[in-house]
Structure 1
Amino acid sequence: MTRVPVSVIIPALNAAETLPTQLDALAAQDVRGPWEVLVVDNGSTDATAEICEAYASRLPLRLLHCRLRGTSPARNTGAAQAQGELLLFCDADDEVAADWVEAMRTALESYDAVGGAVENDRLTEPGMPYVPRHPDHLPVVAGFLPRAITANLGVRHEVFDAVGGFAADYDYGGPDTEFCWRLQLAGYRLGYAPNAVVHYRHRHTFRSMAVKAYRTGRSRGRLFRDFGPSGMPRPRLAGVALRWARLVLTLPLLPFSAHRRWRWAEQASGAAGRVVGSARFRVLYL
């Protein structure tokens, strides 16, 4: 396989509505030397494949297919076929900022893997009563280790292969954390790339927000099962009691504020997910 400096990998499932925005942003990048964009179709039934074909004259784009459903198998499929010495991951429903590719490449000169900055407002639907904010740094998750999100992640190809790629059995809310933790525990360096910006598209319906929070909460049980022996702490009982008490006490206030309803639903869904995750993975992580 002939290596190129950079491969950009995008998992896509029925992404026809948003994928052109991401591909337009990539087509506008000023990239030094050869590179490639790999869109991994994860079983789309819309016009995702046709859109990729339409961009073939504007981008060094290859369309791949992954029959095993899930973003982690799709990303692993892209990495297995990628020719790049550096693997850059982004999503089909976001938009990379100008010079994203070069900013990630520069950051990877100093680190084995990097997470870029996340901008929260550009793609936000008007009228959303609550918009979560990503911090201007890599957050420490669950009081253990920092992680980058897969919507803006870069890693050296040899490092990706050395740690075994993404864990295919982790569902939403856990793959990026699990990968970044496993990478760091293997002795590799994870850094922050503040100049590599991705405009992030937040969940804009009440249901999608609640589902995301629930699945993220549920994944914490699996993370604790796998990383508790390495030092991931269990939540303190006082903090758990306070979280549940706050949910109960603020319940009567929900009819008066859409913002409060979104925040309450997000927190309640996450708490319910932790209960289910504790039972499913036979741990106590509330």
Structure 2
Amino acid sequence: MCARPPCAGRLVHPGDLAGSHQRRRGILDRARPAGAVAVNDKLFVAASVIVPSYRGERRLPELLERLARQDFEGTWEVVVALDGESDGSRDILDEYRDRLPLRVVASTERRGVCATLNDAYEAAAGAVLIRCDDDLSPAPNMVRRHVEHHATTEAPVGVIGATRDVFADTPYARAYGIPANRRHLAGVYRRRDDMIWMHWAAHNSVTRETWDRAGGFDTRFSYGEDSELGFRIHESGVRIIIDPELEIEHRGPAPDAEHRIPRAFLSGASRKAFAKAHPGVRHEDAVWGSLRAWLWAAGVNAFTFALRSAAGCRRYGRAVDGLPCRNTDLAARSPHRAGCRGCRQGRISCRTGISVQLRLAGEPRHGRTAGGRGRRAVQ
């Protein structure tokens, strides 16, 4: 069994419920619309939707509108975790307080997504903890569907809803973005059961008990922290499933090669960090459905040697964006090249643990930094 990460805080479940059967029964009870349950002066509800956000002023309104239309009849809440306050996100949230059971967890400065999410999960009152990033558009049945999975399953489970990218009609989207996302989704649904943890990302759910046992996000990671947590949940004996009915629209994919290629490099570098944290564990790149796909991957590997940093990948991506749109082969291969090169060349710092060094100046991924401290307020 995988050990609790040394940098993650210990999150204790208030109320000290005795045994997993009692906790499952508690989920069923709290899923009824009879009202919240108070335990040790803390209000418990059936579900908490946890939303990490960094400078989300433009992304949050769409998500909050979708959450306001949920058809779940039980008690639930929305916990929005602001990673620093440097835009108008707080004002946007205040506009929805009369329409949503909303709480805000905020830090005065950027601390990174791991610390931000750990704070939000700790503050959440739900028996079922649902992560939903601020650039997603959930269907009306999202909360209900997640709660039903945990309320009707004897053994603990982790539930994933895959993300379906939504693109503007651009040459990049036609050449790479849309076809790549289609291939990705097909691979997600073909993934072997013992490797589903790799898709633990922006939309998933666990019970409070499972979260406490896993120990939260490992703050040593700056990128790839999602699937690393998924691996530890899997290693703890929890079965992870993907529910096609929970597939969700993702409004924030990379809009062009300038942004996508550096992200692919960092994703590759995070696999190198994962290998150091969990020696001997295989982290698959993709599900190859044919010999042609395997040959594609082999060919891509041969072109990776010129890419040595995320900043270099960004410059390369800018050049790709400037090419005629008919050059679809280069646009399609480039992100995969960057990912392969990141896995080989990505810089890893071991001074305070394993941390992928983000090199995208001015392009943080939801404020991912490796652990700064800041005052936190829950409202």
Unaligned runs of at least 5 residues, structure 1: 282-286
Q: 8 Å contact 1:7–1:84 — kept in the other structure? A: yes
Q: 2:266 aligns with which of 205, 209, 215?
A: 215
Which residue identity does 2:257 align to in structure 1?
F
Q: 2:130 aligns with which of 78, 88, 96?
A: 88
1:257 pairs with 2:326 = yes
- 1:99-149 deviations in Å (ceiling 9; x for gaps): 1111111222334211013223xx3222223223242545759x9553334
Aligned to 1:163: 214
Unaligned runs of at least 5 residues, structure 2: 1-41, 286-294, 306-319, 351-379
Larger Rg: 2
2: CA distance between counterparts of 1:233 and 1:199?
25
1: CA distance between counterparts of 2:205 and 2:284?
29
Q: 8 Å contact 1:140–1:147 — kept in the other structure? A: no
1:32 pairs with 2:73 = yes
Which residue identity does 2:122 align to in structure 1?
A
In the superposition, relative to structure 1, how do residues 233 and 44 fare at CA in structure 2: closer, same or farther (>3 Å)? closer
Which residue identity does 1:61 align to in structure 2?
L
Aligned to 2:162: 117
Q: 2:84 aligns with which of 43, 49, 52?
A: 43
Q: 2:145 aligns with which of 103, 108, 111?
A: 103
User: SS where residue 195 of structure 1 aligns?
Assistant: helix
- 1:156-199 deviations in Å (ceiling 9; x for gaps): 11110111011122122x11110111111111111122212310
Q: 8 Å contact 1:216–1:273 — kept in the other structure? A: yes
1:239: Cα distance to partner? 9.5
Which residue identity does 2:334 align to in structure 1?
A
Q: 1:276 aligns with which of 329, 338, 345?
A: 345
Q: 8 Å contact 2:79–2:103 — kept in the other structure? A: yes
What does 1:1-286 align with in structure 2 at a 5 Å threshold?
1-66=42-107, 67-109=109-151, 110=153, 111-120=156-165, 123-127=166-170, 128-129=173-174, 130-131=176-177, 132-133=180-181, 134-135=184-185, 137=188, 140=191, 146-172=197-223, 174-201=224-251, 202-229=253-280, 231-232=281-282, 242-245=299-302, 257-277=326-346
Aligned residues: 272
**111-120 vs 81-90, which moves further:** 111-120
Q: 8 Å contact 2:128–2:205 — kept in the other structure? A: yes
The alignment's TM-score, normalised by the length of structure 2, stands at 0.65
In the superposition, relative to structure 1, how do residues 23 and 220 fare at CA in structure 2: closer, same or farther (>3 Å)? same
1: CA distance between counterparts of 2:218 and 2:55?
23
User: SS where residue 32 of structure 1 aligns?
Assistant: coil
1: CA distance between counterparts of 2:161 and 2:101?
23
1: CA distance between counterparts of 2:227 and 2:283?
15
Identity of aligned residues (%): 26
Higher relative contact order (CA 8 A, sep 6+): 2
RMSD: 2.9
1:261: Cα distance to partner? 3.3
Which residue identity does 1:245 align to in structure 2?
A
